[in-house]
Amino acid sequence: MKTTVKIMAVCLLTVSACHNATKGKQNFIPGTYVDSTQTEYGKAMDTLVIKHLDGPNYQIDSRATKQAIRDGKVLPAHHESNKRGATWDTQKEQLIEIVSGRVYTFQPYKHTMMLNNNRVLQKIN
């Protein structure tokens, strides 16, 4: 009897720990993420602002500034902005854009977010 109670207690603690880890990740998501790149042909600065709406629903406000470089001269900046909806996938622990299918993976311990498993954005707040 005591063994059964101990096993049940361990199972409950394990499930509770997994649930709390997922909630911790979801609590980390809202905020501002940035990434910048520069090559000999241009430079770009991306900013994503993620807001929690309700339940598993989020809004992603994306802002990008791009500047081409031609013959060593930096050309005028080009700005883009749009808003997209995303949903939290509890099983995969990822945020998935509704229309495009882009996948956002969060790494709270690194204070970063990965976009489609190849781009890393730093969380600044």
Domains of the chain (ranges; CATH) run: 2-123 (2.40.128)
Judging by DSSP bridges, how do beta strands 42-54 and 57-70 pair with one another? antiparallel
pLDDT tens track for 77-115: 999 999 999 999 999 999 999 999 999 999 999 999 999
Q: Are 67 and 43 in contact (CB under 8 A)?
A: yes
Residue 76 CA to residue 81 CA, distance in Å, equals 17
For the CA atoms of 82, 83, 84, 88, the dihedral, rounded to the nearest 10 degrees, stands at 130
Residue 123 CA to residue 28 CA, distance in Å, equals 10
Q: Provide the whole-model pTM.
A: 0.77
Amino acid 7: pLDDT: 46
Tell me the backbone φ, ψ of residue 46, rounded to 5 degrees: -110, 140
